[in-house]
Structures are given as C-alpha cells and as structure tokens.
A and B are shown apart, each in its own frame.
Chain A
C-alpha cells in the first residue's frame, strides 16, 4: 500500500477570521467542546492561544469519540447548490484495476451526509470512530466515470476476520462528483483490508449504448488495504481548509478535487450557468500526484443535435437536445436526449425518474453512452414549434455531501419548445 498524504493546501482563512467566524456562525467550534479532547492530539491548544493569523492552516479540533472535526456549518442554507464552510481533506490510495474497471479508494474522517428516499432527506451524522470510505469507479479504458448505482458492496476484514459488510451509498459531492461512500465504524487502529465487489452494469438499471453496449457484464472484485492510525486521523483533520467566511452559503460549488478532471477540459463553461464556482484555480493545487477522472458531463454546446435549451429545476441544469440522426435509436425516429447535471461542476444526476409530456410522451430511459455520457433518453419525432413538458417523477436517488443536500429535491416540471 502506498500512502499519498493529503497535500497541504493554501490557507484561505486566517486563524483570527476562523475564530470570529466560528463564534458568529455556530458557536460550536473546537474550543467550545475542548472538554472532550483529553489526549492532546495537537490541535486543542492551537485554537485558543490567540496568535494572529499567519497563513498557517487552521485545523479544527477533533471529537475523540468519532474523529470527526467540529466544523462550522452554514445556517439555513439556500434550496440550491451552495458553498460550504470548508473543503475536506482526504487520503487517496492507489488506483486498483480489475477487468474493465478502475477504482480509486479514498478515506477521510466520518462526516455528515444526507440520504435521499423519494423527496425525503435523512441526515446521517457520524457517531463512532472510523472512516468515511469512498470509491470512484471508472472505465479503465476510456477513463469515463460510471455514475449509476451498480449495487456495489464491500467487505472489510482485519486479520482475516470480517469486521463489516455493507453496500456503500451512491453519492455526489462537489469535489468528487459521483462516487460510492459511507461512514464505516472501525473498532480500533490497525491495517484493514477491503474487498470491493463491482456488479455487472446494465440490466434494467441503465441502458448501455455505443461502445459500452457489450461491456461491464462481469462481476469483479478489487482489493485494497489501508492503515487506520493516529497519523491518518490527524492528517485528514489537519488538512481541512476553510473558505472565506463571507462566501459560506453563497450559491456556488467547490472546484473538483486536485488531481481530478484531467480527462477533459474542466475549465469550460458549465452548461450555460453563471460563474458561481469557487474560482481562482484552487483545483489545480494540492500537491497530489494521483490523477483520477472526475464525473463531469460535457457542456451543453458539445452535444450533437439541436438544442432545446437548458432549463433548470431544483437548481439542476437540464441540457435538452433533439437528435434527428443517431445510433441511439434504430434509425426510424429521432431521439430526445436530456442530461440533468449539477450546476458549476456538471456532475450527472443519476437514478432519477424522468418523463416527458406534450408533443412526445413517455418515460425517459437512463442511458450510459460511450460518447455522450450519462443521460436520459426516449425515441420519437419532433417538429419545430412543438411544446414539451419535462416531468421529474422522482429526484436523483443519490446521497449528498454537504452543499448538495438542499438542491435537487423539489424539482418542478420544465417546459421546452422545439425551435
């Protein structure tokens, strides 16, 4: 196992600002709960010594019971994608390949995320020691992230004994895009082995087209190890990086993680959205040598066919295209392609139920195409001036990291017209 330590990043908030922000925003910062910190993990004293900010990274304190740092959170966030207070740090393990799949495992401290069932949201708050274990899965050949719930599962063992078995949640995060992850309690420090099972992609979950049509049909298992120790726990907590306080809760998204997005131009526009990104190039910093694809979709104008606009619903952007000639149908009709994605980072919104009414009626089928990527589609013919209503029957059934939890839940219908 090779460890790639989280790179030290530029501090974005002086200690003074950090402390002021904490007091103003939550009143629940490190120092306030320092009573839990008995073993002197090196952070406890820092926050209260009153030194001026000097550009050194300011680390949050750690609650011993769960190794979860006490970070401030945005109060009353908007019902939209927003900038959180901080950027998490994580440890990347080496990419593991098995058959057609490549998997990058990542680890950080257990943190809050949100499950989505229908339009209900359920916060998951860490309450035991362990890790937030994540894995991004992509096509080893093309580097394309496979952004749908394939029913992956993992078994965690230590000295040959089963410690935990679970199906990690399909999740989206601003910095990591689509991935699988969960908070996994670990009984004690030590070396853990993970067997991560990838199940065949397709069946009824997603229609595979193009060069993907006959691929990803075999189940595969990748194995990796990680060390759960004090060094890891400290490094992921110390690597937390705060945004300027006046940006907390602003519409916008953190840039994809350093080392990600190398597969195509990630600096393009975001499907016609305003520039609300984190900005100023942080995404290329961090000293990470690992390169891992980010699950971003193409900008709207990169798609073939005729554009029917990019309406929004629940803060998601829906790229709508009408293709008259395409291999995605048997050739007898046109094809309506709808590609819902997050604003700013263009992360695909998987596992939603989408249908169309009006000039064309029916259920759109979740599709993963080797060239056009993840989208929902339906065969049919359209003529100029015809009206369509895109109906979100259920929002994307993927768990959410911070900053995505309030968006993509209430998603009203959208009208589009064929130009």
Chain B
C-alpha cells in the first residue's frame, strides 16, 4: 500500500491510513504531522512509563481506559495486530531477550491510552512447536456461511494507543527498526527471535467514516458522522461487555491469562446504508422493538450504558423471528449470557480498511475459546433460520458481514508472556 496524500484527506483519516500502511516511512510521515518529539532523538512525545505500574494481567486495560459521557469504557483509537513467526528455538536467554524487549516498551510508554496498551499472545502452532499441550484449539469455521482463512503464525502482539505514532513506533521498535521509541532506548528487541508474518491487521475506533473506503462517495448523508463504528451505531456498551474477571483463566498453568479470538470481517456498507431504512438498521443491530419504539436514537446514543436486550427482549428472539420476521444482532447474542446476565465475551474490536475494504477485526477475549464459539453460534442464529427469518435475511446483521479470517491465541499472564513453555 502506498502512503496517502496528506492534502487529499482529513488529518484524522490521514493518520488512520498511515497506521494501515505501516513501516518506518509511515512512522516518519506520522511524526512529521504530529510534530511531537521530532528531531534527531525521534519519539512520539507520549508519556513514558514504568513496567512496575503494569498489572499482572496483560488484558487488564479497563483501569487505564477513559470513559465516555455515559460511563462506557472508551477503547484506544489506533490498533495494530502484529503477526510473528518464531525464528529461533526458545531457551532461557531468548526468553530473557523477549521479556526485556517488552519491558523496554513499557518504559517507553505509559500504561495509558495516551501511551501504549498491548498484549502478547501465542497460537496453537507455537505450542506445537515448543512441544507443549495446546491450551487453545486450532481455529475452525463456526457458521455454515463462512469459509475463512486461518491464522497459522506463531505469536501475536496487539498494540493499541490513542496516538497513531505510538502504535507504529512500538511495532518498529519491537522489530529493531527504531532504536529509541519515544526517546527511550530499547534494551533488547525481537529481532532474531521472531520475524514478521502475515497478515498485519490494523484499524481504529472512533467517530468518522472514511468515505473513500466505503463505496459511498456522493452520499455522505447516509452515514452518521458521529458513529464510532462502521455500521453506524455505538457498540461496546459497558453492560454488554464481560468484566475482565469473567474472561480470566482461573486454574492451570495459564491462570491469570485469557484467550483471544480474532475474527476478520468484511462489511457491505452500501447495502446497509442505502437499501435499509434507519428503522430496519436499528431493528437488525439491536432488536425489532428498538426499531419500532425508537429506543436507540440516531447512533445508539439514547441507550446509555446498556443495549437493554438482556432478559425479556432476548427471550422473545424466536417469537420476534416468527411474528415480526426479523431479529436483532444484539438480541440474539444476549441469549448466550450467563444466568446472572453477565456477557461472557470482552470485545476489543475495531474498524479496519485493510486491503482497502471496510471491515472489522472482531477481537474478543474470553476464558476459553469454547465460549467464543458458543456465543458466536448463538449470534449467527442459525437455529432461527426458517422460523420467519432467513439464513442471513432479517437475521440480525448477517446479510452485511462476511467472515474472512479467524485466529485463536492464548494470552498468558504478564509474567509468562515471553515464550511460555508450560
């Protein structure tokens, strides 16, 4: 991908495009634009940090995240999911190198969305290589509507920050391309231990739909500008998210860790925004009742911290299919909640324009991959097809999403994040 022309797009879209392009040239362009900490020392001007301030769980981000006006956690804006393959045989020295590299990043950036939040995960292929029992299964197709590709690389680093320059710089620093990220020296890097693998996933969260990627040129009115997700509605309501405790592994060698599934989706936004009405979109995202009663507002802003689908609305999913010929995405998914109403998945998903097609990297944390499969199956609602809704049609948002790729990973607790051997 080529670097975008800064004169052609807004600053916000330009920064997002740079993250999508990646590499040192994109990083330079980004630092030129943000103008922070430039000069010979390099650096993104983000707050520096102290490894000692990071919690024991890699996935414990909520304490660091800000909240929106309603109290929902606000995810970092920029994301890179870096794929890595092992280039050496892990031993104690290599482990130390890897851990030192991660600690260098923690010194370079504060545990804060203005600094860097990151997790390190390992795939089934990694555990097979090091001769350990696989703590997560190989990824598989979950619904009958998909024939995805599967991640076969060994390790993954999810980098997240409100600063585009930080995710780019941290990525390059890990790979040994930048010596002093944010002005702090890397005492070690992953060079020689890991090499970059495919695919590189990138994306962002936050208002604004980059029109040049939607195929919606000429009809900007149809896309609500203030919507933080591509489909035009708020997501990640506090009440729809599992607490971090709920997704933390309790026992065994990885106690204190979690599992991560990354589902990469392509979205069909032209149909969604131009063919459906707003009422239909609300009904399909939340529930028919939300559509009929106007419960959501333009982009879901009337919902506060809760979609309100748990309980009665989730229970009437099958009845809605038969009697209203339509069911909502959130409504279907809520059927998979715990008995006490707790959702089992903690979503850290983000929008993407990777491959220049609008999509979502649906990154989800849960105690076990089984739980993801169970919730995702419920979300697909294949049990409802033929009951007044089709396999896709009027069955939540299935008409508009296309699964492209899946990967499963174990995120060990922070103290074991460097090449675990258990």
Chain A residues packing against B (C-beta within 8 Å)? 115-120, 122, 124, 127-128, 148-151, 153, 162, 164-167, 169-170, 182, 185, 197, 199-200, 203-207, 219, 351-353, 355, 363, 365-366, 393-395, 397-398
Interface size class of B (residues with CB under 8 A): 35 or more
Cβ–Cβ contact B268 & A203, under 8 A: no
- Give A35 Cβ to nearest chain B Cβ, in Å: 19
Q: Is B266 an interface residue when CB atoms closer than 8 A count as contact?
A: yes
Interface contact A203-B385, CB-CB below 8 Å: yes
Given A122-B276, A166-B271, the answer on whether A393 and B388 have CB atoms closer than 8 Å is yes
Alpha-carbon distance A124/B271, docked complex (angstroms): 9
Q: How far is the CA of A151 from the CA of B387 in the complex (A)?
A: 15
Contact indicator B382/A118 (Cβ below 8 Å): no
Contacts of A206 in B (CB 8 A): 386
Residues in chain B near residue A355, CB distance under 8 A: 322
Closest Cβ of chain A to B356, distance in Å, is 8
B385 touches A204 (CB 8 A): yes
- The yes or no answer to B362 lying at the interface (CB within 8 A) is no
Q: How far is the CB of A184 from chain B (nearest CB, A)?
A: 9
Provide 17 A-B residue pairs closer than 8 Å at the C-beta atoms, listed in order of the A residue. A117-B394, A124-B274, A124-B275, A149-B390, A151-B145, A153-B145, A166-B268, A167-B268, A167-B400, A197-B147, A205-B382, A205-B385, A205-B391, A219-B144, A351-B390, A363-B322, A393-B388
Q: Give the residue among A199, A206, A366 with the most B Cβ atoms within 10 A.
A: A199
A351 to B388, CA, bound (A): 6
Known: A197-B147, A204-B383, A365-B386. A149 touches B275 (CB 8 A): no
Q: Complex: how many Å from CA A305 to CA B16?
A: 65
- Interface status of B283 (Cβ within 8 A of chain A): yes
Residue B277 interfacial (CB < 8 Å) = yes
Residues of B near A394 (CB, < 8 A) are 321-325, 388
Instruction: Say how far B144's CB is from chain A's closest CB, in angstroms.
Output: 5
Q: Which residue of A lies closest to B270 (CB)?
A: A185
Partner of B275 from A119, A122, A219, A397 at Cβ < 8 Å: A122
Contact B393 A351 (CB under 8 A): yes
A169, A199, A353: which contacts B144 (Cβ < 8 A)?
A199
The reply to whether A118 and B325 contact each other, CB–CB distance below 8 Å, is yes
Contact status B388-A397, CB under 8 Å: yes
Least CB distance from A179 to B in Å reads: 14
Distance in angstroms between the alpha carbons of A388 and B389 in the assembled complex:
25
Beyond the given A115-B276, A166-B271, please list 8 additional residue pairs across the A-B interface where CB-CB is below 8 A: A117-B284, A122-B280, A166-B268, A169-B399, A203-B391, A393-B388, A394-B322, A394-B325
Which has the most chain B C-beta neighbours within 10 Å: A120, A122, A182? A120
Query: Is B398 positioned at the interface, with any CB of A under 8 Å from its CB?
Result: yes
* B275 touching A115, Cβ below 8 Å: yes
With contact pairs A197-B147, A206-B386 given, residues A117 and B326 touching in the complex (Cβ less than 8 Å): yes
Residues of A within 8 A of B392 (CB): 149, 151, 167
- Look across to chain B and name the residue whose beta carbon is closest to the beta carbon of A221: B147
Q: How far is the CB of A413 from the nearest CB of chain B, in Å?
A: 13
Establish whether residues A162 and B389, one from each chain, have CB atoms under 8 Å apart when the complex forms. no
Contact call B321/A149, Cβ cutoff below 8 A: no
**Whole-angstrom distance between the Cβ of B318 and the nearest chain A Cβ:** 10
Using CB atoms, name the residue of chain B closest to A149. Answer: B390
B215 touches A (CB below 8 Å): yes
Q: What separation, in Å, do the CA atoms of A206 and B382 have in the docked complex?
A: 11
Contact with A along B258-271 (1 / 0, CB 8 A): 00000000101011
> For residue B276, which residue of chain A has the nearest CB?
A122
**Chain A residues, CB < 8 A from B288:** 118
> Of A148, A205, A207, A365, which is in contact with the most chain B CB atoms at under 10 Å from its CB?
A205
- How many angstroms between the C-alpha atoms of A219 and B392 in the bound complex? 15
Please tell me if the beta carbons of A397 and B382 are within 8 angstroms of each other in the complex.
Answer: no
Q: Which residue of A lies closest to B404 (CB)?
A: A165
* Interface mask (B385-422 → A, CB under 8 Å = 1, otherwise 0): 11111111110001110100000000000000000000
Instruction: Determine if B120 is an interface residue (Cβ-Cβ < 8 Å).
Output: no
B355 interfacial by beta-carbon distance below 8 Å:
yes
Whole-angstrom distance between the alpha carbons of A122 and B280 in the complex? 9
Chain A residues with CB under 8 A of B394: 117-118, 397
* Distance of A352 Cα from B326 Cα, bound (Å): 11
Is B247 an interface residue when CB atoms closer than 8 A count as contact? no
CA–CA, A116 to B218, complex, Å? 26
Please give the distance in Å from A13's CB to the nearest CB on chain B.
31
* Segment 278-314 of B: residues with Cβ below 8 Å from A: 279-280, 283-284, 288
Q: Does B21 contact A (CB under 8 A)?
A: no
Contact yes or no, B390 A170, CB < 8 A: yes
Query: Cβ of B355 and Cβ of A149 under 8 Å apart?
Result: no
- Residues of A with C-beta under 8 A to B168: none
Within the complex, the shortest CB–CB distance from B221 to chain A, in Å, comes to 12
Q: Are A200 and B144 in contact (CB under 8 A)?
A: yes
CA distance A207 to B392 in the complex (A): 17
Interface residues of B in 143-179 (CB under 8 A from A): 144-145, 147
List residues of chain B with CB within 8 A of the CB of A170. Answer: 390, 393
The reply to whether A397 and B147 contact each other, CB–CB distance below 8 Å, is: no
Instruction: Give Cα distance in the complex from A365 to B385, angstroms.
Output: 11
Q: Report the minimum CB–CB distance from B142 to chain A (whole Å).
A: 13
Please report the C-alpha to C-alpha distance between residue A149 and residue B390 in the assembled complex, in whole angstroms: 5
B57 to chain A, nearest CB (A): 37
Max chain A Cβ within 10 angstroms of own Cβ: one of B145, B215, B266: B145
